[in-house]
Structure 1
Amino acid sequence: MTIMDRKFALCFTWICLFVLLILVLITNFTDNIFYGELDGQLFSEQTEILDEQLFSEPETKISLKRRSLITEKYKERLNHLQQTCLNSTDGFKGKSTDSDFKFNILIDKQHNLFYCQIQKVGTKFIKDLLRKLSQNHKKDKKDNLKNEWKLSDLNLMMENTDKIMFVREPYSRVLSGYVDKLFAPNNVYWDMSGRSVLKKTRDGANNHSLSCGHDVSFPEFVKYIIKSEKQGQNLDRHYAPLYEHCRPCQISYDFIGKLEFFKEDILFLLDYLNIKHGTNITFSDFESETTESRAIFQSQRLFNMREKLERCVSFFNATMRTWREMQIRGLISIHKQFPFDAEYTESHMTKEDLFVAVKNAISSVQNKSEVKAQRDAALIEAFRLVPTADLYALRRFLKPDCALFNYDSMPMKIFDRPYTDKKSLQYFNLF
């Protein structure tokens, strides 16, 4: 090869490298525009187009994503999530496996619905609503809500479905998981989680506690979450982070609801579903059922578990925990006393007695706002019992959820911590 040939080859190589570099820069630039990293252009452009389409198409043809993007509140939620995902280095993938993810996805092919359930975020209500949609559909009288599908089919299914998820303020969800699974009588979770919590957090725990798992305190529960996360151990889905359930950075959801605005968000969703599917489901269809169904559920659950519960606590204690759980949830006034004493409860109280007592207590509430405020009061009381170091460690655990779904990672009502005398406890004083 001559010197001229070598020079030509070297020159050609440099030209190719330069062209390749230009192509890479162009590709990165266009990717940035596509993913909305440049001042949220993707969402602003979409909204302008959708505004025109909204008035040119019949209501039945307007997708859930379009409705969300032209409604400021829902657009902001989707936009915030997208920007947070794009700014992350790991895409918030978390520790959940494909199997964990698949468990949380429910698909109704008949109505093209894709719902990702997150435990402790109104899942029972939402599933009841979606099932009612199936039952009210004139061509369909069976339950279509299934999670029997192959992960390999996910992309195809997502193209043609309305993708829905609901989230919740992360600190309140932590407390809700504790109250429902460990504070309230629940022999399954006492055995499955309670004993593990005590082994990991309570030095010198007695044999009765270790064998039953019935007396886990909220500070111990928080410490358990922190230690499990630090050790890389997976948590039960009722305690695991929100984002690990639904992979919100990998799936483009069409609607994100929040438990704090539950009725308003459900009404928005119902309006869309009723128009699209020709149904007439109302929120009151469920409200009227809630009081009675809650009373039935509580009485049946307590009596069904009675034999196993009494190996660990008295039946009166279990009943009082059930009553207190409903006070913590803002269903029964904290001033409403349980109507039966210990002797009657242990020896004579029937399932029907408890059902009537619960139903009457819920129905007798005159100031619903005041009783609902008990949720906040219980939250504040519970977190004031948590040592400061553990509270800040919990904040690190909850920070991804707070970032993704735009919640305060340091809410003042929790982090403003005056001294709490344990003798003055109103909600968490049963053990």
Structure 2
Amino acid sequence: MDTQHERKKRILSECQKSKFHHRDPEKISGAMQVVRNYSILYCAIPKVGCTFLKRLMLVLSAASGKYSSPFDISPGDIHFRYMETLSKVPEPLRHFMKYNFTKFLFVRNPYTRLFSGYVDKFFTPQKAFHQNYGRYIMETFRKNASAKSLKCGHDVSFLEFVQYVMASIKSGVRQNPHFMPMYIQCDPCVQSYDIVGRLETLKEDLRLILPHEIWQLYVPKNIRELSQIDEVRDAVDIAFNNQKSQKGCLTFHEILQRIWRRLQIRGLLSRHIEFPVGAKHSASLTRETFKQILNIALLKSWHDPSTKQNRNDAMLEAFNTLPRPDLEELSKLLQMDCRMFGYDTKPDNIFKPKESGNQDFRFFDLLPS
């Protein structure tokens, strides 16, 4: 538990040194998922493995035998499932849970979290985010935006996204929890936590929360492979769920290309495997056929050692588009998350980048330059 001691000691130190507006405890309770069977409270932070962790908590809450694994529940489904939160528990039971249940949260590197948020919500065809945030970003941060961009919000660049995030943190306008600092959302200065996990050490940290036999049962040894298969399933759902809603903004072929590239960026598909379906045949592509194509490419990519480097190279490509003043301003806004949770405030791979060995491949060339 030495690592946990150091993590909690660091948080306490930052809370004592820093002065910032703390979150309403009631809102924190609204983010805390209750697992009565194992006396657990989980404070969920978007873009920190919460799709998997919410599914795990739901499995633990369910009747014995209902699920064999968190992967029994599709990624897109979990956010529409009812899960009991601490704010829904009446007093005095709520007070009892708050001070007697094991409370935990997970965090991750703030820079990779921000990048992941962009890829997942803006580069990936996500109609709701394009309409609710993409169009606003076009109106606010792009000079001479085209009529199509203003109407669709479908081609937000990483620079424009970062400018929006920085402005929303400072002004409070158009904030979204997927992009807001982690310390604000579960505010460990207001609510203490028994376990502070990191996404980078997910399996190891879950051992501290779950009984050993439960950990073995629901956290499989091949979690990496299952997670990748799970991501393919989610990618197929996103593509076909957005097929009609993106009409007039993205063709179905463009949607499929972005989904393919999303999986390359996330380090699942090799950059050396091109999307094999032409525009002519994309319209007739079925959900099952696309899934089969992705699974074949996934298996081939497991034999390409360079695939693991994709995410880092894509992230470097994105951050290299930021002017130095914007990068410095961003570091100030991410500084509290970095200091509180033990991450480098100015990581060398972003602030002192070395040239990638794959200069011929561009991860974001599907967006207009």
TM-score bucket of the superposed structures, by smaller chain: 0.7 to 0.9
Say which of 262, 267, 271 aligns to 2:202: 262
Tell me the amino acid that sits aligned with residue 130 of structure 2: W
Q: What's the counterpart of residue 107 of structure 2?
A: 167
1:168-215 superposed Cα distances (whole Å, 9 cap, x missing partner): 100111111111000001111100111111111011112211111001
Q: Of Structure 1 and Structure 2, which has the larger fraction of its residues in helix?
A: 1
* Closer/same/farther in 2, CA of residues 335 and 170 from structure 1, 3 Å limit: same
SS of residue paired to 1:146: coil
Displacement after TM superposition at 1:262 (Å): 2.2
Tell me the amino acid that sits aligned with residue 174 of structure 1: L
Q: What's the counterpart of residue 73 of structure 2?
A: none
Contact map agreement 2:121 2:129 (CA 8 A) in 1 = yes
1:197 to 2:133 alignment: no
Q: What's the counterpart of residue 322 of structure 1?
A: 259
Tell me the amino acid that sits aligned with residue 218 of structure 2: I
* % identical aligned pairs: 31
Output the TM-score relative to the length of structure 1: 0.75
Displacement after TM superposition at 1:260 (Å): 1.6
1:300 to 2:242 alignment: no
* Closer/same/farther in 2, CA of residues 107 and 144 from structure 1, 3 Å limit: farther
Displacement after TM superposition at 1:250 (Å): 1.1
* Closer/same/farther in 2, CA of residues 378 and 140 from structure 1, 3 Å limit: closer
Displacement after TM superposition at 1:345 (Å): 0.9
1:302-351 superposed Cα distances (whole Å, 9 cap, x missing partner): 112211112201111111110111111111111111121111113x2111
Root mean square deviation, CA, Å: 2.8
Displacement after TM superposition at 1:287 (Å): 4.8
SS of residue paired to 2:242: helix
Tell me the amino acid that sits aligned with residue 88 of structure 2: W
1:401 to 2:337 alignment: yes
Q: Which runs of 5+ in 2 are unaligned?
A: 69-80
* Closer/same/farther in 2, CA of residues 242 and 318 from structure 1, 3 Å limit: same
Structure number with larger C-alpha Rg: 1
Say which of 184, 188, 191 aligns to 1:244: 184
Output the TM-score relative to the length of structure 2: 0.86
Tell me the amino acid that sits aligned with residue 149 of structure 1: K
Contact map agreement 1:134 1:144 (CA 8 A) in 2 = no
Q: What's the counterpart of residue 78 of structure 1?
A: 8
Contact map agreement 1:133 1:279 (CA 8 A) in 2 = no
Alignment of 1:279-428 (within 5 A): 280-284=217-221, 286-287=223-224, 289-346=226-283, 348-367=284-303, 370-416=306-352, 426-428=362-364
Say which of 211, 218, 222 aligns to 1:273: 211
- Rounded Cα–Cα distance in structure 2 between residues aligned with 1:232 and 1:135: 37
Displacement after TM superposition at 1:140 (Å): 11
- Rounded Cα–Cα distance in structure 2 between residues aligned with 1:224 and 1:278: 40
* Closer/same/farther in 2, CA of residues 112 and 314 from structure 1, 3 Å limit: same
SS of residue paired to 1:361: helix
Say which of 88, 98, 110 aligns to 1:149: 88
Tell me the amino acid that sits aligned with residue 183 of structure 1: F
Displacement after TM superposition at 1:394 (Å): 0.7
Displacement after TM superposition at 1:136 (Å): 6.9
Tell me the amino acid that sits aligned with residue 273 of structure 2: K
SS of residue paired to 1:410: coil
Say how many residue pairs are matched: 351
